[in-house]
Chain A
Amino acid sequence: MPGGLIEIVRKANATRRPEDSVALRACVLGAVMVAALALVAERAVSLSTAALLTVALPLAYWVSYRRRAKDNWHIKIALTVAALFALFRFLGQLTGVATLDEVRFPLAELFLWVQVIHGFDLPARKDLNFSLGSSLTLMAVAGSISQDLRLVVFLVPYIGLVVASLALTHRSEVDEKVAAWAAVPRPSAGGLSRIPALREILRAVALTVVAGVVLFLVIPQPSGVRTLALPFSVGGGAGFFGGGGVANPGFGSGSPASRGAASSYYAFSDRMDLRVRGDLSDELVMRVRASDPAMWRGIVFETYDGVAWVGDEATATSLGDDPPFPYPIEFRSLGPRQTVSQTFYIEQELASVIFAAGQPDAVWYDGGVRIDELGGLRTDSTLTPGTVYSVVSTRGAATDEELRKLPHVEPPENIARYLQLPDDLPARVAALARRITAGAGTDIDKVRAIERYLRDNYRYSIDSPVPPAGQDAVDHFLFDTDVGFCEQFASATAVMLRTLGIPARVAAGYTPGTRNPLTGYYEVRASDAHSWVEVWFPRNGWYEFDPTFDVPPATMQAADLFPLARLVRAAVSKLGDVLPEGLGRGARDAIGYVLIATILVGAWIARRKLRPTRKQRAPVSVEAWGPITRALARYESAAAARHRPRAPSETAAELLRRTTGADRDASAALRAFERERYASEPPSWEETAAAVDTFTKLRDELVSSDRGS
């Protein structure tokens, strides 16, 4: 019975048609190796595993090539055992995994080992195809981990090897199918042109690249909401201990004068002083993988004292011991909400706060998380580079129309604190607010009216004048300077809304940053630090408004979805820069779009007009002629280079007589040339070969005689 079973296994695994192409095997191995190395570069597998793989994979492919025609049933049994061992090892590794997200790494290692194990049994073409397909999985895992452009180093050779593998696979398929190959005349030229299919493959690769780029530009890139397998891990090095408050690594003593890095924003503390000025660098501070762009809020400020906003200075309370940390119910807003999932990858040391979109409902952070009285989240120590944390947030999703339907009600006690104003706030601020919102009936209309007013009457400048001592900073911005940056715009909006009885507060954090279409991450730089306004609406809670740029704060736009839209937008922006500022942004953008459309349409029309019709086309290029004509053309070029060019009226025969001497008889080659060019019946293959040979010899003689002389 066991003998019978072995026989059944043997028959079932017999190789029906072994693949003999070494080139195909080499290309598939190359693709798998490159994909494996990409995983190594992304640190998905350890270096020791990588070293083992670089030996094991070629060995496996060599063994499978050597034994491609055998049934290999005993190898298959050994491989089954090895696969089970790899699976058990993977299951063992799972016990050490802290988060579901980390499963990706042992899974990547398992994929790799399966590739190696499978590599020992690749007798047929379909097995190699399967291996090639599996390498795509490895590459996809590397791509899902990669945060930067380093993957290009692996992607380019990988695509090249895949393309070569596909071409060789097709060649192998055809080879298997045909009983014989036709004898095709070979070009006499040397080099790569001897490989018959090379030109077609290169042409197809070029078309593939063009099609790939076009598709990449137009394929929408939405991001799904992830609520499972969200990663979090602590970064390298010890952070600054916050002691329950906010620790800002750039301002060790907490004073603006103690700024230690151009990437530090002073407002990431419990106080935002409107008199502080300073540039922020373009240094990358974090990458964010998010389902939607959002304002990454870190700090909320409640009290305005005339020159600064102050947050909660008291010690924050802990949210619990283990992630996910839930957002307390008393801080949660109601009404229509939109979920945003985010994972933050910290690149520079940042303040000890949790940056997150809107209302952070659940936080995965490898450490203690505390909440202050205003709902801001703080960590025990500063966020160090390498720290990863995830947040699932919600943010208000009611439209202006829906907010407009809300009645104005007295805010509850816990919200009334956001109506606070300094006692000495000049009355003209409130008067201005009333004047601006005179025609606005609802809270949302009042917010929009103030935004419009600021957009139309104030300029943005990071170097705005500092308010003199004793003058209210908002009053100074509104009535004296007309110039400010985000803090002034946000403060003026919040203060004016408070004078109207609408609860408002100032938030500090980062804008979404720029989405890198290749990695999918939002790249947030230090200069993306920003402050904006949050306004409370009855039964709906806090909504964000950004009066500085008068744009809806961080909503998904076409440029986030389509890389092509991003390209167009960048071009429009560049064009807009050369137009006078007085035109306004909308007008400049419109002119930019019109200009781009005009250029594209003009180019299309020009192409149509300039392209010769079939009748007008220039004579067919030498390349398009037959091999004899091309050989004669090479002879002509050689003669011309030796000061014996062919005269316009000279026939080929006359040229040969003049340049080769009367003793050379090239009449047969010339007859073949004339038949190739002008006769309906082309010369035979033998005649073609002989003629090409004659012209090539004549050329060689011409060149060698020139060298001799």
Chain B
Amino acid sequence: MTRFPTRRAAVVAGAGTLLILAGVTAQAGWLFVLAAGALGLVGGSLVVRHRLGSVEVERAAPRRVRVGDEVSAGFSLRNRSSSSVPMFVVSDELDAFAPATVGCERLPGNATAHVELVRGALRRGVFAEGRITMTSGAPFGLVRSRRRQVVPVDLTVVPRWVDLRSFPLIDPSAAATDNPEERPMAGAGQEYMGIREYRPGDPLRSVHWRSTARASKLIVREYEREVSARIGIVLAGADHGDGPESSFETLVSAAASIGLHALDAGHSIYVVQPGRDGVERLAEPSPHDLLGWLAALQPVDAPLDAAIDAAHDALGDGATVIVVSSDAGETGSSVAAALRSLRQRGSHALLIVAQSASWDKRHRATFDDVAVAGEHMRVLRADRELETCLAG
């Protein structure tokens, strides 16, 4: 705990000193009385005990929130000593939320005070602890005591995502493919493929009556069979810009949106992030696991090769791989090669690239071979909504 006089104390002490000088010059005793009063205020404040050491802080916050959500989060302030603690202020510096400051009037001995705030989750991440600063300058604000304390917390702030209606390569009818598993098949899906003769077992509601009348035999509508595909998401890139809408956060949000859409469509996904010391990977996660994994990701500017290899090893030839990447730095410079490599291996690749310069003009794109991506590319920009960008 630190204790220090404030600027006001310096002003009061300065006034006291000036009064002494004036007392000497004017030969006036009352000025010494006033000076003693002013200096006594500072001296008395130095003796006042703030007892912040006896205050125990406990957080109350939900365990999982999404970036941008407003949640109820608060504290319990317990005075462990039998003496009261004068008025103090608690500043919460937990990175997940915007800084918040709450006040507490005199807290009697052994008493507990509660405070609740509605706070917006600002920052994605997994938070195990957060710093609390307690300050008291009671009663005159002349001398301030400060105690910093790290308070444990169990909080995961998952990335923001958008609900996609459709997305290329993930929707089964989106692209023709040689891969039998990915070719459209008759089934109970939603996409209309054509008509055929009735087979026993076909539901009556699928009969196409006009064609039946024309052909004089039962003709039914044929629907595409929805198949479960293997989809890889490779996420990489450094961070540009500030705050919850920075380039990497947007990439993570994009990955979360695509991943959730894929899971929703019944696909299994494999998520990879290249790192300096290997790759981070997450295989066949649930939506909950996917968001939790993405919450902990940190931006890394690393080449994509290792991550592409890892995705290929896990998914095999012909898989669908979505590269979610920055266009700058080492990551950006390896994008074109990664796409070529994927195609050579028979995989279907889609590039989601964040235009770094739109977040920070100082950054130059190192990925400029747009032709490599062809039409399978989406560009994320700071000044455009994620949903719009992903829709192409």
A residues sitting closer than 8 Å to B (CB atoms) are 133, 136, 139-140, 142-144, 146, 151, 155, 159, 163, 166-167, 169-171, 173-175, 177-185, 187, 196-197, 199-201, 203-216, 219, 221-224, 226, 289-291, 515-521, 620, 624-627, 676, 682, 684-685, 688
Question: In the bound complex, what is the Cα–Cα distance between A329 and B112 (angstroms)?
Answer: 82
Q: Smallest CB-CB separation from B107: which chain A residue?
A: A184
Question: In the bound complex, what is the Cα–Cα distance between A212 and B33 (angstroms)?
Answer: 8
Question: In the bound complex, what is the Cα–Cα distance between A136 and B12 (angstroms)?
Answer: 11
B299 within 8 A of A: no
B120 within 8 A of A: no
The residue from A174, A223, A676 contacting B27, defined by CB atoms under 8 A apart = A223
Interchain Cβ contacts under 8 Å between A and B, 6 examples: A197-B105, A204-B44, A205-B44, A211-B39, A520-B31, A626-B111
The residue from B28, B39, B84, B137 contacting A519, defined by CB atoms under 8 A apart = B28
Q: Smallest CB-CB separation from A521: which chain B residue?
A: B29
B241 within 8 A of A: no
Q: Are A520 and B113 in contact (CB under 8 A)?
A: no
Q: A174-B103, A182-B115 are in contact. Are A204 and B140 (CB under 8 A)?
A: yes
Question: In the bound complex, what is the Cα–Cα distance between A206 and B139 (angstroms)?
Answer: 12
The residue from B29, B35, B75, B106 contacting A517, defined by CB atoms under 8 A apart = B29
Q: A211-B43, A221-B23 are in contact. Are A197 and B115 (CB under 8 A)?
A: no
The residue from A203, A216, A685 contacting B112, defined by CB atoms under 8 A apart = A685
The residue from A169, A185, A200 contacting B141, defined by CB atoms under 8 A apart = A169
B117 within 8 A of A: yes
Q: Are A219 and B35 in contact (CB under 8 A)?
A: yes
Q: Smallest CB-CB separation from A183: which chain B residue?
A: B114
Map CB proximity to A onto B114-148 as digits: 1 under 8 Å, 0 otherwise.
11110000000000000000000111111000000
B residues sitting closer than 8 Å to A (CB atoms) are 11, 15, 19-20, 22-41, 43-45, 47-48, 75, 77-78, 82-84, 86-87, 89-90, 100-117, 137-142
Q: A136-B15, A200-B138 are in contact. Are A221 and B32 (CB under 8 A)?
A: yes
The residue from A201, A203, A209, A520 contacting B32, defined by CB atoms under 8 A apart = A520
The residue from B11, B37, B109, B141 contacting A159, defined by CB atoms under 8 A apart = B37
Q: Are B113 and A182 in contact (CB under 8 A)?
A: yes
Q: A177-B89, A221-B23, A520-B23 are in contact. Are A215 and B36 (CB under 8 A)?
A: yes
What chain A residues lie within 8 Å of B44 (beta carbons)? 204-212
Q: Are B101 and A519 in contact (CB under 8 A)?
A: no
What chain B residues lie within 8 Å of A200 (beta carbons)? 48, 84, 86-87, 106, 138-139
Q: Are B48 and A177 in contact (CB under 8 A)?
A: no
The residue from A180, A203, A290 contacting B102, defined by CB atoms under 8 A apart = A180
Q: A177-B101, A182-B115 are in contact. Are A215 and B27 (CB under 8 A)?
A: no
Q: Are B108 and A185 in contact (CB under 8 A)?
A: yes
The residue from A140, A177, A187, A211 contacting B31, defined by CB atoms under 8 A apart = A140
What chain A residues lie within 8 Å of B107 (beta carbons)? 182, 184
Closest beta carbon of chain B to A434's beta carbon, Å: 45
Q: Are A682 and B110 in contact (CB under 8 A)?
A: yes
Closest beta carbon of chain A to B4's beta carbon, Å: 15
Question: In the bound complex, what is the Cα–Cα distance between A289 and B27 (angstroms)?
Answer: 6
Q: Smallest CB-CB separation from B137: which chain A residue?
A: A170
The residue from B106, B116, B142 contacting A196, defined by CB atoms under 8 A apart = B106
What chain A residues lie within 8 Å of B75 (beta carbons)? 182
The residue from A215, A520, A626 contacting B39, defined by CB atoms under 8 A apart = A215
Which residue of B20, B107, B111, B137 has the most chain A CB atoms within 10 A of its CB atom? B111
Closest beta carbon of chain B to A640's beta carbon, Å: 24
Closest beta carbon of chain B to A292's beta carbon, Å: 10
Closest beta carbon of chain B to A215's beta carbon, Å: 4
Q: Are B109 and A625 in contact (CB under 8 A)?
A: yes
Q: Are A518 and B33 in contact (CB under 8 A)?
A: yes
Q: Are B33 and A155 in contact (CB under 8 A)?
A: yes
What chain B residues lie within 8 Å of A209 (beta carbons)? 40, 44
What chain A residues lie within 8 Å of B114 (beta carbons)? 182-183, 685
The residue from A184, A197, A212 contacting B40, defined by CB atoms under 8 A apart = A212
Question: In the bound complex, what is the Cα–Cα distance between A173 and B83 (angstroms)?
Answer: 25
Q: Are B101 and A219 in contact (CB under 8 A)?
A: no
Q: Are B142 and A197 in contact (CB under 8 A)?
A: no
Question: In the bound complex, what is the Cα–Cα distance between A291 and B26 (angstroms)?
Answer: 9
Q: Are B109 and A520 in contact (CB under 8 A)?
A: no
Which residue of B11, B34, B39, B138 has the most chain A CB atoms within 10 A of its CB atom? B34
Q: Are B29 and A167 in contact (CB under 8 A)?
A: no
Question: In the bound complex, what is the Cα–Cα distance between A142 and B34 (angstroms)?
Answer: 11
Question: In the bound complex, what is the Cα–Cα distance between A210 and B37 (angstroms)?
Answer: 10
What chain B residues lie within 8 Å of A676 (beta carbons)? 110
Q: Are B110 and A144 in contact (CB under 8 A)?
A: no
Closest beta carbon of chain A to B264's beta carbon, Å: 38
Which residue of A151, A173, A178, A517 has the most chain B CB atoms within 10 A of its CB atom? A178
